[in-house]
Structure formats: C-alpha cells, structure tokens
C-alpha cells in the first residue's frame, strides 16, 4: 500500500485527525473536504502542478542547448483557475476551439501566451483564434486558405505554425495515436510544402512547425524517428524556399504512472533529455539552426496533481467479485470505459491497512462498462467510507458528462495549506438550463 501512496501528489501524508489516520494533501484533511463539498470531489494540489513545471524547466535548461518554452495543453484541464495558474507560471496555454479560448481569455491569459489547436476549426473557432490568440497551429490547407482570407481583418494577426504528420506511430492506445500516416490530424509533408509556399506568397507570418505523436507514451524512443523525419522536411523546405521555422514543437504526450504496477516510471527529465539530444543532433546533421523548442505537455503536468474522492454506497458480493459501488464513475471519468485505463485507489481513513482481496469499483450509471477500477487489491472497505483515486487530474473533468443526470463534480484547489472551491458542483437546475421547453 505504501507504493500506492507514491501515486499521490508529493504533499500527501497520513495525519491523525480525530484519533484516526487519514489522508491529507497539502495539509488539508480529505475527509473534511469531502464533508464540506460532497462527493465525487476533484482536488487539485497546486504544489504538484508547480513541481511538474519546475521539472520541465530544469530539464530544458539542463539538456537543450537552445531557447525553449512550455505550452500547457489545456485540453487536459482548463477552467478559470487552471488557465490563470498556467499563465501566471509563464506557460503558453493551448486552447482547442472557441470554447477553450473563451475560458482562457476570461481567465486573463495574455494574447501572446495563447496557442490554438483544432483539427477542423469552425469559422467561429478561426475567428476567435484570430481575434484572441498569439499563435495558431494550422491543421490543413483548407484552414490555411480560410485564415489567409481573414489576414486583413485584425491588426495583430497571430503567428502561424504548421501541424505536420510524420507518418509514424508511437506505442500507446490506438485512440491516442495521432502522428501516423492515416491519422486525421495535421498535414502530410507534400501539403506542408504547399502550405509554406502559400504563406510566403500571401505574406502570412509563418514561424513554426508542430507535430504531436500521441498521448500517454512511456518511452521517448519512438519520438526520435518522427523528429528525424520532421527535420528532414525542414531541410527540404530550407533548400526549396530558404524558410526555416523559429519554433519547433514536438507536441506533448509524455505519460504518467496511474497504477502502482507502472512504478518506477521514467521521468520528465528522461523525456526532455532524449528529445533535446535528438533535436540538437538532428539540427547539426541537417545543418539547421537550433529552433526554439516548445514542448506541449498536458497530462504530465496536471494528472498527478488531481485526486478524485468517492464515497462507497453499497458493497455487493457476486459469485466471483466483491463490488464497491461508488457515487461516481464513467460520467466523471470515462477513461477506463473509453480505453481501458487502469487506476488504483486507497481508503481515505486508515489508508495503509492491509488489502487482502481484490475488489471491483463500479459507478452508479446504467452501463455494465461503468467500472472505474477492476480487480484491485483493497482493504475491507465498508459502505459510507471514502476512497481516493490518485492521478485523476487529466482528461477526467474535460470529458465528463451528464449521463443519467449526473451532476459534474465540485473542484477544489489546494494552495499553501488552504482549500478553495474553484468550481461548484452542478445542480439539477443546470440540467435544464439550456432547455427551451415545448410550445403549446
Ligand atoms: C496537439 C496536442 N498537444 C498536446 C497534447 C497533450 O497531450 P498530453 O496531455 O498527453 O501531454 C495533446 C493531447 O492529445 C494534443 O492533441
């Protein structure tokens, strides 16, 4: 069970409250937070977010010989507090579409720190991007032509980067691969050559090239050949049109350990060291200037900082299983049902008591697939107890739903020993808020 504890934010400890050993994060008692804000509850520890950013910065400074920056991939978690935190830490914020752009601008993220992604940006997305972003990553030629048509409509037109598709896959779930040849994302190299020509003839501010191989990989090696191919493309572009990008972004995707079986896990430093060395060597081999390296992590910044709290409703025994039925599941965390993501959990009270039997942690929703965790060794947990699921910070709330009338959870932010509510729990009124009713 001690190993399981390592999955939690580093500020997690076991403290004695009211004569019981209980989990605390950032000095805050999880039991008290659950009582105050209800469950399911999502808790974010800012010190863990800060530590991840510090680790990226230190690794870039130690390993990359050129200038570097970090874009925080907002798709992993974006709300006013997270966007404000990211901007305050000097990160750029990647927004997908007009909705995330709205959140970032409402949070006060400065234009020059906003970068926009999207595989099929709508006219509204493009317009919002042109008006509010510092950088737009262009997915395809049609989009580029639409952007060219908007070029004269704003004084401060964003810089453009091209998203290219290296045509190679990384080792992750098929749903999370994006850089392979048949992927819907980005441009093939022939299109990228056309895009550069179009930008140059139209006088568009093209400054970067981006690729993203996929999400949640644990070995940086497969990024190497993709990076090599992109550098070959850059050499080709330089020879054909004397253009080289100021920025190169290899996207995000660095994985995290979700389960104690994933420990030990290679570090952010391992990933950045590999990337930096390969990029520097590739630039030298192709006689290219060192670009500004912009990494784009989401999960590896925000996943560990987030912990989900659930209350056990009923405990059920079937012929072969012990079911712990929770008050949350696929509506707040679709990842196990979507791609078999494997999680772990600890009881909040007496977390290190021995776990002898496997348990299946099921949610309350009307789907047999609504199982948050399968076959996990768990203590003798009773109805009414609280369970904490670590590594819940990325892609849970962003993919959450109102299935079965589920109310999206409250979100609490921990900073300097204080907890503050940054998003209230949805109410049943929210469920009908958009409804227009029926006439007559
Ligand atoms: C373009 C792009 N950049 C960055 C990311 C962040 O990936 P991760 O959260 O795995 O770091 C994603 C996620 O899919 C992405 O699509």
Give the model confidence (pLDDT) of 205-229 as tens digits. 999 999 998 888 899 988 899 999 9
Site to probe by mutation for ligand 1, drawn from 49, 73, 299, 394 as the one with most ligand atoms within 8 Å of Cβ, is 73
Residues 146 and 14 in one domain: no
Residues 236 and 90 in one domain: yes
Ligand 1 atom at minimum distance from 395 CA: 9
Site to probe by mutation for ligand 1, drawn from 210, 215, 218, 300 as the one with most ligand atoms within 8 Å of Cβ, is 215
> Three-class SS string for the chain?
CHHHHCCCCCCEEEEEECCEEEEEECCEEHHHHHHHHCCCEEEEEHHHHHHHHHHHHHHHHHHCCCCEEEEEECCCCCCHHHHHHHHHCCCEEEEEHHHHHHHHHHCCCCHHHEEEECCCCCHHHHHHHHHHCCEEEECCHHHHHHHHHHCCCCCCCCEEEEEECCCCCCCCCHHHECCCCCCCCCECHHHHHHHHHHHHHHCCCEEEEECCCECCECCCCCHHHHHHHHHHHHHHHHHHHCCCCCEEECCCCECCCCCHHHCCCCCHHHHHHHHHHHHHHHHHHCCCCCCEEEECCCHHHHCCCEEEEEEEEEEEECCCCEEEEECCCCCCCCHHHHHCCCCCCEECECCCCCCCEEEEEECCCCCCCCEEEEEEEECCCCCCCEEEECCCCCCCHHHCCCHHHCCCCEEEEEECCEEEEEECCCCHHHHHCCCCCCCC
Residues 273 and 417 in one domain: no
Which of 242, 271, 302 delimits the end of a domain?
302
Residues 122 and 8 in one domain: no
pLDDT at 179: 63
Q: Which residues pair with 116 in a beta bridge?
A: 95, 136
Residues with CB under 6 A from ligand 1: 73, 75-76, 117, 212, 215-216, 251-254, 296-300, 394
Which of 302, 324, 356 delimits the end of a domain?
302
Q: Is residue 438 part of a domain?
A: no
Residue 229 Cα to ligand 1 middle (Å):
20
From CA 423, how far away is CA 425, in angstroms rounded? 7
Residue 215 Cα to ligand 1 middle (Å):
6
- Summarised one tens digit per residue, pLDDT across range 223-272 is 899 999 999 999 999 999 899 999 999 999 999 999 999 999 999 999 99
Look up the pTM and report it: 0.96
Residue 253 Cα to ligand 1 middle (Å):
5
Residue 73 Cα to ligand 1 middle (Å):
6
Q: Is residue 243 part of a domain?
A: yes
**CB-based contacts of 34, cutoff 8 Å, min separation 6:** 41, 309, 311, 348, 386
pLDDT at 215: 85
Residues 173 and 288 in one domain: yes
Count CA within 13 A, CB hemisphere, residue 188. Answer: 4
**How does pLDDT run along the chain (440 residues), one tens digit per residue?**
789 999 999 999 999 999 999 999 999 999 999 999 999 999 999 999 999 999 999 999 999 999 999 999 999 999 999 999 999 999 999 999 999 999 999 999 999 999 999 999 999 999 999 999 999 999 999 999 999 999 998 899 999 999 999 887 656 666 566 667 788 889 998 999 999 999 999 999 999 999 998 888 899 988 899 999 999 999 999 999 899 999 999 999 999 999 999 999 999 999 999 999 999 999 999 999 999 999 999 999 999 999 999 999 999 999 999 999 999 999 999 999 998 999 999 999 999 999 989 999 999 999 999 999 999 999 999 999 999 999 999 999 999 999 999 999 999 999 999 999 999 999 999 999 999 988 76
Residues 295 and 309 in one domain: no
Residue 178 Cα to ligand 1 middle (Å):
9
Which of 284, 302, 320 delimits the end of a domain?
302
What Rg do the C-alpha atoms of the chain give, in angstroms? 23
- Counting the structural domains of the chain, the total is 2
Residues 135 and 230 in one domain: yes
Query: Which domain covers residue 327, as residue numbers?
Result: 2-38+305-432
Residues 32 and 52 in one domain: no
Closest-CA residue, ligand 1 atom 4, reads: 252
Identify the CATH number of the domain in which residue 254 sits: 3.20.20.10
Q: Is residue 439 part of a domain?
A: no
Catalytic residue status for 366 = yes
Residues 137 and 256 in one domain: yes
Ligand 1 atom at minimum distance from 298 CA: 9
Residues 171 and 313 in one domain: no
Closest-CA residue, ligand 1 atom 10, reads: 253
Residues 71 and 185 in one domain: yes
Q: Is residue 62 part of a domain?
A: yes
From CA 400, how far away is CA 332, in angstroms rounded? 5
Ligand 1 atom at minimum distance from 178 CA: 16
Residues 16 and 54 in one domain: no
Site to probe by mutation for ligand 1, drawn from 75, 164, 249 as the one with most ligand atoms within 8 Å of Cβ, is 75
């Amino acid at each position: 069970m001690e190993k399981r504890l390592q999955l939690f934010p580093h500020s997690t400890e076991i403290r004695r409250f009211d004569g019981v050993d209980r989990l605390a994060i950032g000095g805050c008692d999880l039991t008290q937070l659950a009582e105050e804000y209800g469950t399911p509850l999502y808790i974010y520890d800012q010190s863990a977010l800060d530590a991840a950013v510090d680790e990226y910065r230190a690794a870039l400074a130690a390993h990359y010989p050129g200038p570097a920056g970090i874009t925080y991939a907002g798709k992993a978690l974006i709300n006013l507090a997270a966007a404000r935190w990211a901007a305050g830490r000097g990160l750029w914020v990647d927004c997908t579409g007009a909705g995330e752009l709205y959140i970032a601008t409402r949070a006060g993220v400065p234009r020059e720190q906003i970068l926009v992604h999207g595989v099929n940006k709508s006219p509204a997305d493009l317009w919002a991007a042109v008006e509010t972003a510092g950088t737009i990553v262009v997915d395809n030629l049609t989009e580029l032509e639409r952007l060219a048509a908007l070029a004269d409509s704003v004084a401060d037109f964003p810089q453009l980067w091209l998203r290219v598709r290296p045509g190679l896959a990384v080792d992750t779930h098929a749903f999370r691969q994006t850089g392979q040849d048949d992927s819907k994302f980005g441009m093939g190299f022939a299109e990228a050559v056309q895009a550069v020509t179009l930008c140059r003839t139209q006088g568009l501010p093209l400054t970067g090239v981006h690729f993203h191989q996929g999400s949640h990989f644990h070995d940086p090696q497969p990024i190497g050949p993709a990076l090599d191919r992109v550098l070959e493309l850059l050499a080709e572009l330089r020879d054909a049109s004397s253009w080289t990008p100021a920025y190169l972004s290899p996207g995000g995707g660095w994985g995290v350990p979700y389960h104690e079986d994933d420990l030990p896990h290679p570090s952010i430093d391992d990933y950045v060291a590999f990337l930096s060395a390969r990029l520097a060597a590739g630039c030298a081999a192709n006689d290219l200037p060192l670009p500004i390296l912009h990494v784009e992590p989401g999960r590896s910044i925000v996943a560990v900082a987030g912990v989900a709290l659930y209350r056990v409703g009923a405990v059920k025994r079937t012929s072969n299983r012990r079911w712990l039925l929770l008050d949350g599941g696929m509506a707040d965390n679709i990842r196990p049902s979507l791609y078999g993501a494997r999680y772990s959990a600890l009881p909040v009270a007496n977390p290190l008591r021995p776990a002898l039997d496997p348990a299946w942690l099921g949610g309350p929703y009307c789907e047999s697939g609504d199982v948050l965790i399968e076959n996990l060794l768990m203590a003798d947990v009773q109805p009414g107890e609280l369970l904490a699921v670590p590594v819940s910070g990325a892609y849970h709330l962003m993919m959450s739903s109102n299935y079965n009338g589920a109310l999206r959870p409250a979100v609490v932010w921990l900073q300097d020993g204080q907890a503050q509510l940054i998003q209230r729990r949805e109410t049943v009124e929210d469920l009908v808020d958009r409804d227009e009713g029926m006439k007559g």
